[in-house]
Structures are given as C-alpha cells and as structure tokens.
C-alpha cells in the first residue's frame, strides 16, 4: 500500500473511532439527563444505532435501523453489494438526521427546554388526576342538579293544592257579591246604596 492509501485508511479509521466515541458520549449523557442514569449500551455499535433512532424518533425507527444493518451484513457476506441501494441511502440519512436531532434534544434537556422522563411521568399523572377531578366534579354537579330538580318538583307538588284551595276560597268569597256600577267596588248583592260612593243600585236596576 502506498503512503496515500495508508493515510486515507488511517483517516477513515480515526473517523470511525471518533464517531463511535462522540455518539457514545452523546447517547450516554442524553440517557443520563433523560432517565437520570447513564448507559454503557451507548458504546456498543449496533445498540448505539438503536438508541439513536429511539431517542430521535421512536423505538420502531431504532429497530428498523438495526434490522437493516443486520440484513446489510448478511448480504455483504454473500457478496451482494447494497451500499448504493435506495434503502441503504435512506438508512444512512435517517442515522445522520437522528444524530442531529439527538444533539438538539440533548442541549434542550440541558437547558431545561424539554422535560425529562421523570417530569413527563409526573405531568401524565397530574393530567390523569386532573381528568379524574373533572369527572368527580361533573358527577357532583349532576347529582346536585338532580337534587335541586327533585326538591323543586316536591315544592310544586306541595304548593299546587294550596293554590287550588286559595282559588276555591276566593271564588267562594265572591259568591253573593257584585261590583258597584259607579265606583267598581265589590259590595253585597242585597246592598241598595254603595257604601263607598253612595250610588243607589236600585236606580241602575230601574233604568235597565
């Protein structure tokens, strides 16, 4: 091998080592901020790729990356080159984007812009308690409304006979009475001169 080839080989080797170390440190620190503990799995190559996909997107993306790396290795072992295949290019792009997103999330976690796993769990519990509280309040509100309606119905049922009796009594009181043609006051039928205005009711009868 010539000097240039050796130099390129060394650069590629150093680049790979740097990539492993940098991504391992990144994932370890991210895990420490997110879950309050580091993980040595960040330094294992194939698991590191899974963690990248998981932290940047979700576990399914991490599983997809690992699955393709395994398939890629099997195909290369059989002499099939898939380095330029569309799916391999897509996986490489996903890995690069995952590194960028994980870096961003790491600094956001460090600055407190996004919550960690413990804070997310507390927020979810608080939200569940809030929803339960709302449900209980609605049940109490519905029960109170039902009680008010029942009480209102009971009061109405009690008042209706009283009102009917008052109407009957008033109608009974007015039996045998008449209104004065002049002043309109209520007087007895047998009264001939209105005690309020002095009008003679007999005059009204004779004139009729």
pLDDT at 183: 81
Does 156 fall in a domain? no
- Tell whether 44 and 112 lie within a shared domain: yes
Nearest-angstrom CA–CA distance, 169 and 161: 12
Does 119 fall in a domain? yes
Nearest-angstrom CA–CA distance, 52 and 65: 9
Nearest-angstrom CA–CA distance, 99 and 53: 9
Closest CA to 87 of 102, 65, 104: 65
Does 55 fall in a domain? yes
Does 188 fall in a domain? yes
Does residue 201 have a pLDDT over 80?
Answer: no
pLDDT at 208: 46
- Tell whether 94 and 193 lie within a shared domain: no
Does residue 98 have a pLDDT over 70?
Answer: yes
Share of the chain above pLDDT 90, in %: 19
Contact 182, 194 (CB under 8 A): yes
Confidence of residue 66 (pLDDT cuts 50, 70, 90): very high
Q: Is 188 helix (H, G, I), strand (E, B) or coil?
A: strand
Burial string for 93-129 (b: 16+ CB within 10 Å, else e) reads ebbeebbeebeebbeebeeeeeeeeeeeeeeeeeeee
Does 145 fall in a domain? no
The half-sphere exposure of 123 on its side-chain side, counting CA atoms within 13 A, is 7
Domain count, the chain: 2
Residues in the chain: 208
Domain residues for 198?
177-207
- Tell whether 30 and 99 lie within a shared domain: yes
Nearest-angstrom CA–CA distance, 192 and 174: 18
Confidence of residue 94 (pLDDT cuts 50, 70, 90): very high
Does 72 fall in a domain? yes
Residues pairing with 187 in the sheet: 178
- Tell whether 12 and 106 lie within a shared domain: yes
Does 69 fall in a domain? yes
pLDDT at 64: 94
Does 148 fall in a domain? no
**Lowest mean pLDDT, pick from 102-111, 114-123, 126-135, 150-159:** 150-159
- Tell whether 113 and 201 lie within a shared domain: no
């Amino acid at each position: 091998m010539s000097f240039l080839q050796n130099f390129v080989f060394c650069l590629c080797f150093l680049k790979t080592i740097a990539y492993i170390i940098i991504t391992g440190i990144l994932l370890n620190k991210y895990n420490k901020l997110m879950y309050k503990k580091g993980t040595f799995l960040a330094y294992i190559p194939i698991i590191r790729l899974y963690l990248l996909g998981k932290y940047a997107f979700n576990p399914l993306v991490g599983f997809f990356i690992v699955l393709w790396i395994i398939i890629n290795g099997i195909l290369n072992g059989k002499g099939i080159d898939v380095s330029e295949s569309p799916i391999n290019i897509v996986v490489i792009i996903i890995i690069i984007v995952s590194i960028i997103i994980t870096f961003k999330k790491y600094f956001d976690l460090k600055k407190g812009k996004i919550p960690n796993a413990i804070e997310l769990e507390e927020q979810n519990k608080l939200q569940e308690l809030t929803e339960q509280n709302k449900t209980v309040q609605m049940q109490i509100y519905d029960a109170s409304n039902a009680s008010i309606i029942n009480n209102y119905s009971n009061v109405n049922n009690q008042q209706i006979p009283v009102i009917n009796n008052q109407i009957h009594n008033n109608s009974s009181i007015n039996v045998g009475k008449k209104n004065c043609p002049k002043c309109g006051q209520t007087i007895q039928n047998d009264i001939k001169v209105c005690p309020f205005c002095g009008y003679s009711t007999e005059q009204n009868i004779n004139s009729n």
